Amino acid sequence: MIDSRHLIQKAYEAKGYSYAPYSHFHVGAALLTTDGTIYLGCNIENAAYSPTNCAERTAFFKAVSEGERNFAAIAITGDKEEYLPPCGVCRQVMAEFCDIETFQIILAKTPEDFKVYCLRDLFPGAFSRDML
């Protein structure tokens, strides 16, 4: 069972590492593997904008670069007290590495106010390796 509140707290911790000198919009993500390891990610902006990386992808790329391939859930939080869904590029990265039917995406307004979706809910019709 996934401890959503703990994962959300870790996402808030990750948000504290955000590098957002241009948008001033800080995002944190906490990615849970199936063995219980948590990888933190934050958004990292760049003056050229296109090299900017989202918090979700930062967490995934850290995990994948260390050999991890089995993911259970991700919690995402931002500066505003609103649910912050992942962008399309992040959803595509999730679809590459996660089971679209079981991977959970936790969107948190606050540590107590959150919604849980499976990846399929947020990314219907995902492009996958089966289509190549």
Residue 9 lies in a domain: yes
Q: What pLDDT was estimated at residue 80?
A: 87
Residue 131 lies in a domain: no
Domain count, the chain: 1
Residue 80 lies in a domain: yes
Buried b (16+ CB within 10 A) or exposed e, 72-100: bbbbbbbeeeebbbbeeebbebbbeebeb
- Where residue 102 sits, what CATH number does that domain have? 3.40.140.10
Q: Which domain holds residue 89?
A: 4-124
Which tens digit of pLDDT belongs to each residue from 73-127? 999 999 988 899 999 999 999 999 999 999 999 999 999 999 999 999 999 999 9
Residues 6+ apart with CB under 8 A from 123: 91, 92, 94, 95, 100
Question: 60: closest CA among 72, 49, 50, 48?
Answer: 72
Q: What pLDDT was estimated at residue 129?
A: 85
**Would you please indicate which residues are annotated as catalytic (active-site) residues?**
56
For the chain, first and last CA: distance in Å?
A: 34
Residue 130 lies in a domain: no
- Residue 16 CA to residue 13 CA, distance in Å, equals 5
64: three-class secondary structure by DSSP = helix
Residue 129 lies in a domain: no
Q: Are 97 and 67 in contact (CB under 8 A)?
A: no
Residue 63 lies in a domain: yes
Q: How does the average pLDDT of the chain come out, rounded? A: 96
